[in-house]
Amino acid sequence: MPAGVNFRYLADELVHLVADADSDALVYHRSLAERVAAGRVRLPRLRLLVEIDDTGSGVEPRVPGAVDYDELLRAHQPHARIHRSGDDILLWYTGGTTGLPKGVMWPQGRLVTYGLIGAYSLQDQALPESVAENAANAVCFRERRSAPVWLPTTPMVHATAAHAANSALLLGGTVVLLEGHHVDGDAVCRAIERERVTNLTLVGDVVARRMVRALEAAEARGEPYDISSLRRVHNSGAMWGASLKEALLARGTMDCYDALGSSEGVGYALSITSAPGESATARFQLGPHARVVTADGRDVTPGSGEAGMLAASRHIAIGYYKDPERSAQVFRDVDGVPHAMPGDWVLLHADGSLTLLGRGSGCVNTGGEKVWPEEVEEALKAHPAVADALVVGVPDEEWGQRVAAVVELEVGRGTTGPDLDEWLAAKLASYKRPREIAIVDDVRRSPVGKPDYEWARAVLTR
């Protein structure tokens, strides 16, 4: 079973993932050799270390016992093709906001099917019935120049980026990768302009905000970027604010496509915005193979005001590797059909639309009232001086927990905690408003834009 490793992991995190996956071999870049060497002694199962020279140094492998990737290729003939089953498992390790990464088991056939559905929806064409038909279609797409040029802005270890790459390659398209370890707004805009990118993949506000800032700065210099090739901007894995969608829609003809998915399943809900003035934050339409259920598996009645969890039944994983207890909590049968329910809570409205409340594990219970961090975060980020925000519950002797927030301000803008509280007073019930707000230089998120709530909680309780 192959498994990807986040290149930002340090030795302890690396050891946990490689050991949990029962890995026999580890392939890594030479620039990461120090971390691999630090964890190697705690990984007795590893039988092979393959080091790729990404430094250009041409030196021997830095980890004792490792083999050089190029030398390995030169010393062996290509292996005979191996027939693979659609049931062969790929391990996708979650980069969740709490706890250690868990290996999500995906049958590769389900990933290919999902990639085909996404890819062919862009071509307005029926799905192929065979591999040969898809190969012939891919040739046609390239000949008529409709094959996508797709830019994922997150590391390929992230499921959102891998889904995007799969969809592009299944159509005979092109995958554009950014250079360097830091995603810079100007680098994204230059790549779109240079490669004539048609599809862009984001995870939340982080990269979108950097892009918008780069676009605005370039326009102010009289050197605007040409992003007119963009046809779809796809977001999944974190909230994407309406103001950022509006900024992109004002600069081209494209769809802003929000998909609610997770490492455990996809197709929960979606939202498509095609023109300025249509944008909304956290408002979606339920997916065709999804439902909203209570904790005990009862379907939520639309318009009832009762919160429920999203559950998807078609494109889902089969469980967590070596974790039957957690698997039983998330992968459940509803009416005899397997569903993935990772814990995203929503309100299902009478018209069939839904509002995302947030992940249940992050819900704040203050005096018996439930507060969903994402709702408060979006209200804070709507303030013109706020660039980013995270909301958590911190211990409180009287209320059990109280709502608290860390806030990053836009460059050159200023505000205070009392000013932000006054802003929120017109938007949220009093019990939802943070009792304390810490202004920080940078709100910390993961490399793919997911919130670091443990860091936020540490800032607010130190």
> Which of 267, 287, 307 is a domain's end point?
287
pTM of the model: 0.79
pLDDT of residue 11: 82
Measured in residues, the chain has a length of: 462
Q: How confident is the model at residue 97 (pLDDT cuts 50, 70, 90)?
A: very low
CATH number of the domain residue 260 falls in: 3.40.50.980
Separation of first and last alpha carbons in the chain: 42
What secondary structure letter does DSSP report for 361? G
pLDDT digits (tens, 9 = 90+) for 152-183: 998 888 888 888 998 899 899 999 999 877 78
| 110 and 71 belong to one structural domain | no
| 113 and 78 belong to one structural domain | no
pLDDT greater than 80 at residue 67: yes
Q: Three-state SS for 450?
A: coil
Q: How confident is the model at residue 371 (pLDDT cuts 50, 70, 90)?
A: confident
pLDDT of residue 57: 75
Mean pLDDT of 358-379: 81
CA angle (362 as vertex; 360, 364 as ends), nearest 5: 100
pLDDT greater than 60 at residue 314: yes
Whole-angstrom Cα distance, residue 385 to residue 369?
29
Rg (C-alpha) for the chain, rounded Å, is 23
pLDDT greater than 60 at residue 99: no
Has residue 42 been placed in a domain? Answer: yes
Convert 388-404 into a string of H (helix), E (strand) and C (coil).
EEEEEEEEECCCEEEEE
Has residue 125 been placed in a domain? Answer: yes
pLDDT greater than 90 at residue 46: yes
Has residue 316 been placed in a domain? Answer: no
Has residue 349 been placed in a domain? Answer: no
Q: What is the mean pLDDT of the chain?
A: 88
Report the number of distinct structural domains present in the chain: 3
| 375 and 408 belong to one structural domain | yes
Whole-angstrom Cα distance, residue 257 to residue 245?
10
The CA-atom distances, in angstroms, between 84 and each of 3, 89, 216, 243, 398 are 17, 10, 48, 45, 59
Highest mean pLDDT (candidates 13-17, 179-183, 261-265, 318-322): 318-322
Q: How confident is the model at residue 280 (pLDDT cuts 50, 70, 90)?
A: low
| 47 and 134 belong to one structural domain | no
pLDDT of residue 98: 47
pLDDT digits (tens, 9 = 90+) for 247-266: 999 998 899 988 888 889 98
> Which of 287, 305, 339 is a domain's end point?
287
> Which of 263, 287, 311 is a domain's end point?
287
| 258 and 175 belong to one structural domain | yes
Check: CB of residue 95 under 8 Å from CB of residue 450: yes
What ranges in 229-296 are assigned the alpha helix state H? 242-249
Distance of CA 184 to the CA centre of its chain: 17
Torsion sign (Cα): 193, 199, 201, 207: positive
Has residue 322 been placed in a domain? Answer: no
pLDDT of residue 408: 94
Q: How confident is the model at residue 397 (pLDDT cuts 50, 70, 90)?
A: confident
pLDDT of residue 25: 96
Domain encompassing residue 225 = 105-287
**Which residues, listed in sequence order, are joined to residue 366 by a DSSP beta bridge?**
369
pLDDT greater than 50 at residue 244: yes
pLDDT of residue 394: 92
pLDDT of residue 169: 92
